[in-house]
Structure 1
Amino acid sequence: MDIQELVRLVEGKLVGNVDFFSIEGFSGRFTFLNDAHTGDIVVRHWIDSVGVAMAFKKNIACLITQNPKGDAIEMAEKLNFPLIITDKIELANALALSHAISKYSPNSTNIIVTGTNGKSTTSHLIYHILNSSGFHVLTNTDSESEFNTLIDPMVAKLISDEVRKNGELDYLVIEVSEVQGWLGKLMKNHAALMSEAIKPQVGVITNIEMDHVGLVNSIDDVFNEINEVPKVFEDGICVLNYDDELVMRLNAKNPFYTSMSKMNCLNAVYFDEGAIYYKENPILTVDELPFTGKHFIQNILSAIAVCISLDIEMDCIIRGVKSYKALNRRFTKLNDEPLIYDDFAHNPDGIKSTISETLKLLQNNQKLHVVCAIRGSRGVEINQLNAEALAESMRDNIELILSSSNDVVDNLNWVNEEEREVFFNVLNENNVRYVHFDNLKDCLSKVYEKADKKDIILLIGAQGMDPAESVLNEIK
C-alpha cells in the first residue's frame, strides 16, 4: 500500500509530504494519536496544528482526518508531514477494520450483529458461548459499551493488540450500529460498509425499529440503512427475527430464523410453551435461561442460532447459555426491598417492552415506579417518540418520575429546553401524571424514600440513567 492508494481508498486529498509514506514505512496498525508509535496510521475525526505536530514527533506514517482545524494544514505543509483529508471518515475506519482483520486475524470466523435493539446482549452472549467452549474470541461489546461503535479505529486497535498479546483468534464477534452518524450527519450505509469490511460468515439482524431520530426520519430510512447488509454475506448465514415484519422483507440468501412462536422448519430456533426448541426438540426450559423477558429471550434465540450455524456442539451452547451473566443495565436487579431493576431502555420499542415485562412481575397491591431519564442532546424527535411510548405504557398502578440528570451528565448529554418541553407536552396531552427532577440524585432519593418495600422501581434511559447504581449506593 502506498500513500496514493490510501488516498484513493478513503476518497481523500493529500497535503504535506507525498513521498514519505511507503509500504516499508507502515507498521500495519491503525490507531489513536495517544497510542501511536513509529509507522502507525492515525485516524481522527478532527485534528489541529498541535495534533499534527505531535504526530510528526511520534514519527507516525500519516494522519487521516475529516476536519482539519485551525492551522492543521499549514502545520502539515511546514513539517512536510502527510495529512489526508476526507469527507467520509467512515471510509478510513472501515479500511482500518478491514486491514486489521486481514493482517492480524485472516483465519478467524467473523460474526456481525446489527439491528435496532438487542445488539449488545446478543453479541456478548455469542462471545460467552464461544469463549466458554474453549475458543479464542474477541468482541467489541463490553459491559460499559465503550467499544461498540465503529466510528473510530478502536476495534482495529483491539484486534491488533489482542493477537499480538495472545495469538491468533478463532472468532470475531462484532456489533455493528444499524444507523450511525457524526455531529448530526448521517454516515450513509454505515452498517453495510462496516459489515463488508468485516467479511462475516454469519450475521444477525435483531429487529428494525425507530431510533437515532434526526439521522433518520422514518422507519423506511432505518430499513434502507439495514437493507444492504444481507448482501455482504455471500454464501454465509443470516439470522433473521421472523417476528419482525421489516426484517422479513430483507433478502437473505441463506436465512436462519428465530421466533417467539412455534416454527415448522429445520433452519430455525423458537420459543414455545416455556422452552426453546431446535428441530422440534426442546433444548432449554425457561427456568434455565439467564433472563426471561421477551426481548431477552429473542436475543438468546439469535445467539443460539449463530452458534448452531457455526456447528458448535449443542452441549456447549446449552452450557454457555446457562452460565451467562448479563451485561450491565440489561434488566439488572439492584435491590430487593423495594425491588429495583435497571434497564438500558432508551428508544420507543425498548421502553414499551421493558415496562410490559416489568408489569408481569407485579402482584396485588404493588405499585410500579417508572423512573425515566430524558435523552439529552439527542433531539426533539426521539424524545417525543419516547414520551409517546411512555404514555402508551401507563397504567393505574404506575407512577412516572422523570429526570434530566443534570448532576451526572456531561455537555454531550445535557437535556436542553426543547427536549424537556416536548417530553412534558406529550405527557400532558395524554393526561399522564408525572414528577420531574433536574438532578438524578434528588430523583432517586425521592423515589427510594416514597416507594413501599413491596413495590417495584424500574430505572430506564440511556446516558442520563447510566450512573444510577452508584447514586443509589450513596443514597442507601
Structure 2
Amino acid sequence: MKKINLYEGKRVLVLGLAKSGTATAELLHKLGAKVIVNDRSPLEGNEQAEYLLSKGIEVVCGGHPTSIFDQNVDVVFKNPGIPYHNPLVQLATEKGVPVLTEVELAYQISDAPIIGITGSNGKTTTTTLIDKMLAADSKSPLIAGNIGNVSVEVAQEAGEDNVMVTELSSFQLMGTESFRPKISVFLNLFEAHLDYHGTVEDYGIAKAQIFKNQTSDDYAVINADDAQVVKLAEGINSTIIPFSVSKIVDGAYLDNGFVYFKEEKVLSIEQIVLPGKHNLENILAAVAAVKLLEVSNEAITEVLTSFSGVKHRLQFIGEHNGRRFYNDSKATNILATQKALSAFENNIVLLAGGLDRGNEFDDLLPYLKNVKLLVTFGETAEKLIRTANEAGIKQIKHVDNVEKAVPVAYEMSDSGDVILLSPACASWDQYKTFEQRGDIFIDAVHKLK
C-alpha cells in the first residue's frame, strides 16, 4: 500500500456506511484525516457506526444534518448508491468540495496495476473470467469493487506483483478524479439507472470516466459492436483494443467457430461451457484484457472449458420433477432479462418484478414469445402484467414476493419447463440487494425438494 498524505489533517466526511463506507472511514483515519461519518440509520443497533466510534472516529447517525458543514469540510467520500440530490452532497457541490467514492481512494493507495470493468451488463461475469484467467496463469489477481470485495480493503493488501481486477458501476466512476486503470474494459451501454442519472447521455458520460485519465501507456478494451461505447471512446488517449462477435477486428473476435486475438487462434467456441450467446461478448472482452498481460492460451482454455457462470447470473440451481431452475437475480434491467430469455428456446416460466424506475417493459415484448407463464411481484407488477397481456401470454400470476413466486411457478408449470428468475428490475423495493433476492429464490427452490 502506498503511503499517501493527501488527507492528513483534512476534515473528511464519509457519507453512508455499509462495508465500503466503514472501510473507507477506517483507512482515512489511519491516513491522518479528521473523519466524520454520517449515516441515516440510527446509532442504536448500528454495529458499523459503533465500531467506528470505538476507533475514535466521529459519527453522526439518524439523518443527514447540514450542520455538519458548519465546520469546514475538505472532501466528501460518499456511498455510491447515495444520489446527488442528497442534501449533504448538494451542499458539498455548492461549496466546491470534491465528492468522491472509495474507488478513487483505492487507486491512490494501490501498488498494483488495475483492470477496471464497466458496462450496463456482463460486468460480474467478465470480471470473474478475467480473475480466473489471470489466476490460471499465476498472475496473482485480486478481485474487487462492485463484485463484493471492497476496493479500499483489497488495495491495502495489493502489491506490485498483484493485479487488481475491479468491477465498476457508473455510481462509483462518477466519484473519481485521478482514477486511472492500466486496462479499462467497457462492455456495453443500454438504458439503465435513469432514476439516478436522468438521461442515457449522462449515464454514458459517467461510465466513460473509466477512460478519463488513461494515457498512451494504457489500454481501453471496448465493444466494437456497440455504437454508443465506440462514440464515448472517441478521442481517448489510451490504446483501443476492440472486441466483436460480428466482425474481424484488431483485437478479440470470432471466426470460423474459433475465438481469436489479433490473428492468434485461442480456442474453439465448442469448448466453451458458459451458456448464452450474450456471454461470448463477455468472453471476448476478458480474452482481450488478459492477452494484454500475456496470459497463455492454455490458461484461457482451462477457464473457459470449466467455468459455467457466477452466482445470480443465469445460475443453474437444479432440476426437480423435470423442471429446471435458473437464478438470474442479477438481471436488474430489461437488457439482462432479454439476454436470459434468449438463452432458452421454449417453455419458459418467468419470474420478474421489482423496483419501479419509471420505465415500461415494451422492449421485452419480442423476447416473451417463448414464455408460457409470468409470475410477477414488486412495484412493477402491473406494468409487467400489461406487457405480458400484450405479448399474448395466457397464464399470468401476481404474488407478493420471490419466496411465494417459486411454489406458484412450480405448481403451474410442467415437466420440461425452465423456471427462470430474471426480474428485469432492481431489488430495492423488497430486498436489500439482488444477492438477497437470489438467495431467497434458491432457498425456495430447495424447499420444494
Q: Please, what TM-score do these two structures have when normalized by structure 2?
A: 0.76
Does the 8 Å contact 2:144/2:165 carry over to 1? yes
Distance 2:28 2:105 in 1: 16
List per-residue Cα deviations over 1:312-358 (Å, max 9, x = no partner). Answer: 23333333333435210222222232222222322121111211221
Distance 1:127 1:43 in 2: 35
Deviation, 1:451, is 2.3
Does residue 46 of structure 1 match 2:28?
no
Query: Compared with structure 1, are the counterparts of its residues 312 and 299 closer, same or farther at alpha carbon in structure 2 (3 Å cutoff)?
Result: same
Does residue 316 of structure 1 match 2:296?
no
Query: Compared with structure 1, are the counterparts of its residues 6 and 48 closer, same or farther at alpha carbon in structure 2 (3 Å cutoff)?
Result: farther
Gaps of 5+ in 2: 15-20, 77-87, 432-436
Structure 1 equivalent of residue 18 of structure 2: none
Query: Compared with structure 1, are the counterparts of its residues 65 and 139 closer, same or farther at alpha carbon in structure 2 (3 Å cutoff)?
Result: farther
Structure 1 equivalent of residue 220 of structure 2: 238
Larger Rg: 1
Deviation, 1:441, is 3.0
Query: Compared with structure 1, are the counterparts of its residues 93 and 158 closer, same or farther at alpha carbon in structure 2 (3 Å cutoff)?
Result: farther
Distance 1:247 1:134 in 2: 31
Structure 2 equivalent of residue 112 of structure 1: 116
Structure 1 equivalent of residue 434 of structure 2: none
Distance 2:178 2:297 in 1: 30
Out of 445, 457, 462, the position equivalent to 2:407 is 445
Deviation, 1:72, is 6.7
Out of 236, 250, 255, the position equivalent to 2:240 is 255
Structure 1 equivalent of residue 200 of structure 2: 219
Deviation, 1:290, is 3.0
Out of 162, 166, 171, the position equivalent to 1:174 is 166
Does residue 297 of structure 1 match 2:293?
no
List per-residue Cα deviations over 1:92-133 (Å, max 9, x = no partner). Answer: 644x54444444x32x22110111111111111111111222
Query: Compared with structure 1, are the counterparts of its residues 335 and 58 closer, same or farther at alpha carbon in structure 2 (3 Å cutoff)?
Result: closer
Distance 2:108 2:30 in 1: 21
Distance 2:53 2:414 in 1: 62
Deviation, 1:211, is 0.9
Deviation, 1:429, is 5.0
Query: Compared with structure 1, are the counterparts of its residues 43 and 355 closer, same or farther at alpha carbon in structure 2 (3 Å cutoff)?
Result: farther
What letter matches 1:460 in structure 2? S
> What is the root-mean-square deviation of aligned Cα atoms in Å?
3.8
Out of 280, 284, 305, the position equivalent to 2:263 is 280
Question: Is the partner of 2:242 in helix, strand or coil?
Answer: strand
The percent of aligned pairs where both chains have the same amino acid is 21
Distance 1:356 1:56 in 2: 50
What letter matches 1:320 in structure 2? V
Out of 199, 209, 219, the position equivalent to 2:180 is 199
What letter matches 2:447 in structure 1? E
Does the 8 Å contact 2:42/2:61 carry over to 1? no
Does residue 229 of structure 1 match 2:229?
no
Query: Compared with structure 1, are the counterparts of its residues 440 and 102 closer, same or farther at alpha carbon in structure 2 (3 Å cutoff)?
Result: closer
Distance 1:358 1:475 in 2: 23
Question: Is the partner of 2:344 in helix, strand or coil?
Answer: helix
Query: Compared with structure 1, are the counterparts of its residues 30 and 2 closer, same or farther at alpha carbon in structure 2 (3 Å cutoff)?
Result: farther
Does residue 269 of structure 1 match 2:259?
no
Structure 2 equivalent of residue 358 of structure 1: 344
What letter matches 2:224 in structure 1? Y
Query: Compared with structure 1, are the counterparts of its residues 174 and 44 closer, same or farther at alpha carbon in structure 2 (3 Å cutoff)?
Result: farther
Deviation, 1:238, is 0.5
Report how many residues are paired. 399
Structure 2 equivalent of residue 146 of structure 1: 148
Distance 1:115 1:439 in 2: 29
Does the 8 Å contact 1:31/1:43 carry over to 2? no
What letter matches 1:422 in structure 2? K
List per-residue Cα deviations over 1:38-70 (Å, max 9, x = no partner). Answer: 77755745368959997565234x679996449
Structure 2 equivalent of residue 348 of structure 1: 334
Structure 1 equivalent of residue 397 of structure 2: 435
Structure 1 equivalent of residue 79 of structure 2: none
List per-residue Cα deviations over 1:13-40 (Å, max 9, x = no partner). Answer: 9xxxxxxxxxxxxxxx982668997777
Query: Compared with structure 1, are the counterparts of its residues 38 and 370 closer, same or farther at alpha carbon in structure 2 (3 Å cutoff)?
Result: closer
Out of 121, 133, 140, the position equivalent to 1:136 is 140
Does the 8 Å contact 1:199/1:233 carry over to 2? yes
Structure 1 equivalent of residue 354 of structure 2: 375
Question: Is the partner of 1:129 in helix, strand or coil?
Answer: helix
List per-residue Cα deviations over 1:364-416 (Å, max 9, x = no partner). Answer: xxx222222x123x4332xx2xx323333222x42232332xxxxxxxxxx34
Deviation, 1:270, is 0.8
Distance 1:420 1:394 in 2: 16
Distance 2:220 2:30 in 1: 40
Does the 8 Å contact 1:290/1:324 carry over to 2? yes
Query: Compared with structure 1, are the counterparts of its residues 217 and 423 closer, same or farther at alpha carbon in structure 2 (3 Å cutoff)?
Result: farther
Q: Please, what TM-score do these two structures have when normalized by structure 1?
A: 0.72
